[in-house]
Structure 1
Amino acid sequence: MHAERFKVSISDEVLTDLRDRLSRTRWPSDAGNESWAYGTQQEYLAGLVRYWREGFDWRAQEKAINAFSHFRTTLDGNPIHFIHEKGKGPNPTPIILTHGWPWTFWDMHKLIGPLTNPAAYGGDPRDAFDVVVPSLPGFGFSTPLTKTGVNWWKTADLWVQLMEGLGYPRFAVHGGDWGGLVNLQLGHKYADRLIGLYNLGLAPLDVFSKGPPPPTEYGPDEQEALGRTMLFFMEGSAYSAVQSTRPQTLAYAMHDSPVGMCAWILEKRRAWSDCGGDVEKVFSRDELLTTMTLYWATQSFGSAARYYYEATHQPWQPSHDRMPVVEAPTAVAVFPRDVAQMPRRWAERYINLQRWTPFPRGGHFGPMEQPELLVEDIRSFFRTLRG
């Protein structure tokens, strides 16, 4: 595998055009939407857009991003961007961190320092990791994606190629959302390659064809989680229906209007995080707008949205019929405000469950919301698996 050094550098022309488009926004009416019940509230959005246009310093964010070592390669004809940071310790464990939607690779950045250099964060150097953080195909700088058919279970094959190319025949994995499904497929198809799997939540690998486990799988102490999960699938998954069926139609609007794209992503950041309705309790404005700018500047909204289409129209096929379905040693992080939570009784049959950690706070974006708690649990889990 040939990988070239890569530096994040968004042109002045792109940033100038972005500010110009923001200044010419044609706003709709938004009567009676103080509670965001109709969707993204215009009053908050307008203030965020004003800051995006007048106060947000992309160059400062770009400098922080470029403090890490970035690379680009091509795997099976797909451009893949990734961060690769070597650990500082006697025997670092290789680990790949995989994001989801509407995430970017940058949602993992708070984990990189503590995992690669634990001593600098009050930890034990023996817990060090070599960290690889790729952008999913069609996301961020893993663009332009010109091939169709690239989905999450095919991404697992690409990640094996990536880690082998970096000299890691066996490795650990961590991630959530799409990254969680990529990880579970790795733990299913490539269990012999995995040191262990640490997931943010769970979903069946055939969830796009057969749906989540039935309510009867949930125990008496999991009824709140069941209610939240059912509510999400009933009221919170319209975005998935659109992106799974007509992502290109949506892409024209999102690639033309940065405010429209921002509103689409912002609503998820607020609804899916443990913010109590105040998104800035979890994400700073700079963090929110770094995400928006990465999607906008890389023109990746459309190809990222197509990840849903490719998942829906290519049903997952098992590589074996053994139980558990996921044979690699697995840890699961359970955040109380995540959008969907799977029952533990089902998980104990479906995966090789070694650790189940209910966290006191946090939502869908664990690496950004609760990085300290997450790092400590990741270290603890893999400490038991190191040879």
Structure 2
Amino acid sequence: MNSTNFFSIQQKGFKNFSNSKEIAVCFASFDDNIGPISVYHKNLDDKIANEIAVKVMIGTLSLHTDSSSEMCGESIIPFNKLNKIAFSYFFTIPAPKLRGGQRSCSLVILMSLNEQLQMYRLAPFLSTQCKKVSGLIKAKYTFGKSLSNTLKQGIESLLDVQTYKVEIEEFYAARKITITKSNKKGSFKFLNKIIKKDLDKAIFAILIGKTVVVTGDEVMTELAIASLEIFSPHKELKKVFWTNQIVSADLIGTPKNIAKAYEDAVIVDLEKGKVFSGESNKFCKELVHSLKNLDERSIEQKVNQKITEIVTSASILAELAMRKEVSKSDISTIAPLFNSEKMSIVISIAKSMNPIFSKRITVLAPIIAREASTYDVFA
């Protein structure tokens, strides 16, 4: 990929982003008498700033239970009613009179909810900048007293996204051409929020062993690939989180112009929030719908259960198709492991496992389905 073209695309995005008037910042702390408060904020009114402080501090504290003196962490939190998305950097400052000797604080940068792609891209750099500002706060701030101009300027510096541009470009220039490892944790809620249409097509492609190519921003593709992997509890997928070359893998992150080279792949376009190519599937659609109101742990458990059941049935069907003879007794024995309503996806997966015996699978499947119609192991 031409690096000049790549960086010109990134610069255009940051130019548009930096012109936004909707960037705000808040320094929140925990007051032991009244709870979370906004100590200082810019581009927010007092009421909203304090509401943000409460949600961010309570939410962040629930994620960080470590009692060590150097607690810190970060999270991205949507504020749908305000049409904002926030990056929160959690840290502590010395407080000798409090139990534990520390006071919880958070630096919060807010942007328009429409800028969530940029937020995820900026997150590593916001973290670095917030760490610097938090160090300044630790050294110079006393709770309950007015902030110095130096501290105010430090906090307000987080508003200037343009200052990160050179650092971001250098970061991307230094990255390897092909990245096969990532420490990002997957999230169905992230996928469901970003991909507005046909997510089931990508899931179905994963289940039948078809390549899925994710296009968009590098940081976002890494997170999307980690999230899509949730739908393969039965096998380890070969992943390339980012590359500007043509590679062979199950999940591939790449720029849009290179994605076009993967003619037979299912394309997940993060910028458009759509999935292109691929087949829609009823089982996958129903699975996506059933996950929407669950927490991440429950999502993982349900996905593991539902997909393991389907894949187990497909494995049995694929193995049965290789036998020279299949008796009525064989059918009766395995029928309780099948569900007639889910037979379509079972057939597709079985054929992907054993393509040589596809015709045999097609013949056996309806026979098993008829016998299985009195069972429902997928309830």
Q: TM-score range by the shorter chain?
A: under 0.3
Q: What TM-score does the superposition give when structure 2 sets the normalisation length?
A: 0.26
Instruction: Mark the structure with the bigger radius of gyration.
Output: 2
TM-score by length of 1: 0.26
